[in-house]
Amino acid sequence: MTVTFDHVVITVKNLDQAITDFSKLGFHVTRGGAHGRTEMAMVLFADGTYLELITLRSNALRQFLRMAAKVGLLDRLLDRKSDIYRRLSSWFAQPFGPVDICVCVPQLDSILTHWTDTGLPCLETAQFERTRPDGQTARWRLGSSVDARLPFLIQDLTAPDVRVPLDDVQGHGNGALGLGCVRVYVDDVAGSHALYEQAFPKAQTDVMGTFQFGLTSVGLIKTIQPDRKFDIEISCEGPPRTLHVGNAQIRLI
């Protein structure tokens, strides 16, 4: 079964400001619309991958989640949840910046059943929808292992280009071409490698800690800062440079 990289989730405090900031960094940003308690925008690449800039529409809810995380209440509340919202809710209690990665699968239930059968506990799936500024509605399903070290999974229920409007892909002023690699910081590289190998055996490469999902690779490396989870490498035209986004780096190489 083909599994391809889909997107990196980047939480932001204010979506309008994030669009301005990313535009100043030389990216073309596409507004994606609202869904539920969130709204988002996208930095799209021609291969179908993208950076998702997402925020909670309620600042009060964000403050509650962060306070609950500080006192240990959020973990207790989320441990009671058995569905994908357990994972999604945790995004907004973390520092702003890259918080998660997603891969796209054609048959979500088949993968989750395989994971469960091989000893990987999974969260219950949920269906989502988002109405774009042009009125089109995208629908999809999300799934995940209980272990958040693995990417979460997405399956489109509408045509993929409704959710990811490739007709809006434009050249980026900074020369960015495509999402080449995402570096994932983990406490235990060997253990995380074994987990990825179990979940995505066909994505394994000959390099320890590196897995290939379509044109994008995921590299597992040792944690260097407690709140730093991801760095992003984007292929580009022009000289290499490093951009800083929240607690992470985006390298154009």
Is the model's pLDDT at 53 over the cut of 70? yes
**Calpha distance 251→234 (Å, rounded):** 6
Instruction: Mention every residue, 6+ apart, whose C-beta is less than 8 A from residue 203.
Output: 3, 196, 211, 212, 213, 218
Distance from the first to the final alpha carbon of the chain: 30
Q: Is the pLDDT of residue 54 over 80?
A: yes
Three-state secondary-structure class, residue 117 = helix
- Look at residue 91 and tell me whether its pLDDT is greater than 90: yes
| Count of Cβ atoms closer than 10 Å to residue 32 Cβ | 25
Residues whose CB is less than 8 angstroms from the CB of residue 87 and which lie 6 or more positions away in sequence, other chains included: 100, 123, 144, 148, 152
Cα separation, 194 vs 206, whole angstroms: 13
- Mean pLDDT, rounded, for 77-85: 91
pLDDT tens digit string along 124-179?
999 999 999 999 999 999 999 999 999 999 999 999 999 999 887 878 999 999 99
Give pLDDT tens digits for 183-225. 999 999 999 999 999 999 999 999 999 999 999 999 999 998 8
* Percent of the chain predicted with pLDDT > 70: 100
Q: Region 7-18: what's the mean pLDDT? A: 96
Task: Tell me the CA distances in angstroms from 191 to 160, 187, 217, 220, one per residue in order.
Answer: 33, 9, 18, 10
Nearest to 43 by CA among 56, 26, 59: 26
- The residue-averaged pLDDT of 106-118 equals 96
* Predicted local distance difference test score (pLDDT) of residue 225: 85
List the domains of the chain with CATH numbers: 4-252 (3.10.180.10)
pLDDT at 1 over 70: no
User: What does pTM read for this prediction?
Assistant: 0.95
